[in-house]
């Protein structure tokens, strides 16, 4: 088990860990372009998630490896375009008022070869498709690339989300399928906003209308005590909501909703730099996730607090193993210690390396300007 020891990592050491994070990700990227979530972890082996992958590609792109991110976006694009008839069927059924059941919606993860795996999973989740849209446009804008080869997939994804964004589904943590989650709506809004300038005609109009409705819904039913909430109608926060502010940019960090959300998550879920998912978390005892510390760091940076952003990067760095691998979570501070053993028995030791942790480390290190130090 990793003990998180805080020490004064220098900027050069942090940049070296970012370089090594990029190596870890690229060396594990499948020839198909897929980023495996965690290559050896029992429950994730052989699969790539749109959610994880979109953020991993974003970190890789921000740290400067354009080609690796291109390959991931090509992989997503092939998956979507090869399912054109399926997606058009979902959109047509929604338009006719007889939406397909959850089991016929797109899955949240695919095998590295782009197939729907045979293993059972908590599959219907919409956020990853929104995050992918945001990520591919962000990548193209960052490196002045043409979106042309991804445009068909972008339009299919837009149609899918515009038709289905109201549906309850599993959240980032693959839980609470009967709710409409703040972070899921935020990811969808970010994706539609990013894709919007690339669209024309009725599709552009429908996208703008959906975006306005989602933003309105979030403000009306997704805010309690001034901050965004875990799901519509819940008073709780969830650290996934940080993403909606930075890097997804749906609400500005310094605006009232952004600032109140960051403050609530910092107060309730941040313990010494390590960030919990949500207060009732019991997965592996409910530890602290380095990828969430990086999201918090991105938000501190957006508020102009570079010192606290660097502290978050240092906290994440301290979770690295001797092989420079970042885990999914660490067990130093557990919310529900009695539940840890049950998960160790079920799935083995915590997923390590988790490529999403490395991807978020890259994005925060890049935004902190550490590339110049590497």
Does residue 284 touch ligand BGC according to CB under 6 A? no
Q: Are 126 and 165 in contact (CB under 8 A)?
A: yes
Does residue 52 touch ligand BGC according to CB under 6 A? yes
**What is the pattern of x (binds ligand BGC, CB under 6 A) and - over residues 174-213?**
x---------------------------------------
Does residue 173 touch ligand BGC according to CB under 6 A? yes
**What is the pattern of x (binds ligand BGC, CB under 6 A) and - over residues 319-358?**
-----------------------------------x-x--
Q: Which is nearer to ligand BGC, 122 or 224 (CB)?
A: 122
SS (H, E, C) 31-42: CCCCCCCCCCCC
Q: Which helix (H) or strand (E) holds 344?
A: helix 340-347
The residue from 9, 35, 44, 124 that contacts ligand BGC (CB under 6 A) is: 44
Inter-CA distances, 259 with 5, 143, 213, 265, Å: 29, 30, 22, 10
> Which range binds ligand BGC by CB under 6 A, 25-33, 170-178, 241-249, 259-267?
170-178
The residue from 49, 72, 165, 315 that contacts ligand BGC (CB under 6 A) is: 49
Does residue 276 touch ligand BGC according to CB under 6 A? no
Inter-CA distances, 285 with 44, 317, 325, 339, Å: 19, 21, 21, 5
CB of 170 to ligand BGC, least distance (A): 9
Can you say whether the dihedral through the CA atoms of 144, 30, 34, 284 is positive or negative? Answer: negative
Does residue 75 touch ligand BGC according to CB under 6 A? no
Instruction: Label the pairing between strands 270-271 and 274-275.
Output: antiparallel
> Which range binds ligand BGC by CB under 6 A, 43-51, 297-305, 306-314, 334-342?
43-51
Instruction: Label the pairing between strands 223-224 and 227-228.
Output: antiparallel
Residue whose Cβ sits closest to ligand BGC: 37
CB of 122 to ligand BGC, least distance (A): 9
Q: Has 104 been annotated as catalytic?
A: no
Q: Has 174 been annotated as catalytic?
A: yes
Tokens of 268: 């309730």
Inter-CA distances, 371 with 19, 65, 170, 231, Å: 9, 12, 36, 37
Q: Which is nearer to ligand BGC, 39 or 159 (CB)?
A: 39
Among 58, 171, 311, 367, the one annotated catalytic: 171
Does residue 110 touch ligand BGC according to CB under 6 A? no
> Which range binds ligand BGC by CB under 6 A, 15-23, 48-56, 187-195, 251-259?
48-56
Can you say whether the dihedral through the CA atoms of 264, 52, 83, 70 is positive or negative? Answer: positive
Does residue 134 touch ligand BGC according to CB under 6 A? no
Distance of CA 265 to the CA centre of its chain: 17
Q: Are 355 and 37 in contact (CB under 8 A)?
A: yes
175: left (phi over 0), alpha (psi -120 to 50) or beta: beta
Q: Which residues make beta-bridge pairs with 330?
A: 288
Does residue 281 touch ligand BGC according to CB under 6 A? no
Q: Has 236 been annotated as catalytic?
A: no
CB of 292 to ligand BGC, least distance (A): 10
Which residues are known catalytic residues? 171, 174, 328
Binding stretches for ligand BGC (CB under 6 A): 37, 44, 49, 51-52, 172-174, 354, 356
């Amino acid at each position: 088990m990793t003990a998180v020891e805080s020490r004064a990592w220098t900027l050069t050491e942090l940049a070296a860990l970012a370089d090594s994070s990029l190596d870890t990700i690229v060396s594990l990227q499948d020839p198909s372009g897929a980023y495996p979530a965690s290559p050896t972890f029992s429950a994730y082996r052989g699969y790539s998630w749109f959610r994880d992958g979109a953020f991993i590609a974003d970190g890789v792109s921000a740290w400067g490896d354009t080609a690796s991110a291109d390959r991931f976006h090509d992989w997503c694009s092939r998956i979507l375009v090869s399912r054109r008839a399926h997606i058009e069927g979902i959109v047509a059924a929604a338009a006719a008022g007889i939406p397909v059941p959850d089991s016929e919606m797109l899955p949240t993860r695919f095998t590295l070869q782009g197939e729907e795996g045979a293993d059972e999973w908590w599959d219907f989740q919409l956020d990853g498709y929104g995050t992918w849209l945001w990520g591919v446009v962000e990548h193209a804008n960052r490196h002045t690339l043409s979106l042309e080869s991804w445009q068909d997939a972008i339009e299919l994804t837009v149609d899918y989300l515009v038709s289905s964004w109201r549906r309850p589904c599993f959240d980032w943590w693959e839980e609470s399928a009967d709710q409409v989650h703040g972070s899921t709506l935020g990811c969808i809004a970010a994706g539609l906003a990013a894709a919007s300038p690339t669209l024309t005609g009725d599709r552009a109009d429908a996208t703008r209308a959906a975006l306005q409705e989602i933003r309105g819904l979030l403000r009306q039913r997704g805010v309690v005590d001034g901050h965004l909430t875990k799901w519509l109608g819940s008073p709780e926060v969830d650290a996934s909501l940080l993403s909606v502010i930075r890097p997804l940019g749906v609400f500005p960090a310094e605006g009232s909703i952004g600032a109140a959300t960051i403050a609530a998550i910092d107060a309730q879920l941040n313990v010494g730099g390590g960030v919990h998912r949500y207060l009732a978390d019991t997965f592996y005892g409910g530890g602290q996730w380095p990828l969430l510390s990086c999201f918090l760091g991105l938000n501190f940076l957006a508020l102009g607090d570079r010192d606290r952003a660097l502290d978050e990067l240092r906290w994440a760095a301290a979770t690295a193993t001797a092989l420079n691998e970042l885990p999914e979570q660490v067990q130093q501070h557990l919310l529900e210690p009695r539940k840890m053993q049950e998960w160790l028995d079920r799935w083995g030791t915590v997923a390590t390396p988790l490529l999403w942790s490395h991807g978020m480390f890259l994005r925060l290190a890049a935004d902190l300007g550490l590339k110049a130090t590497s």
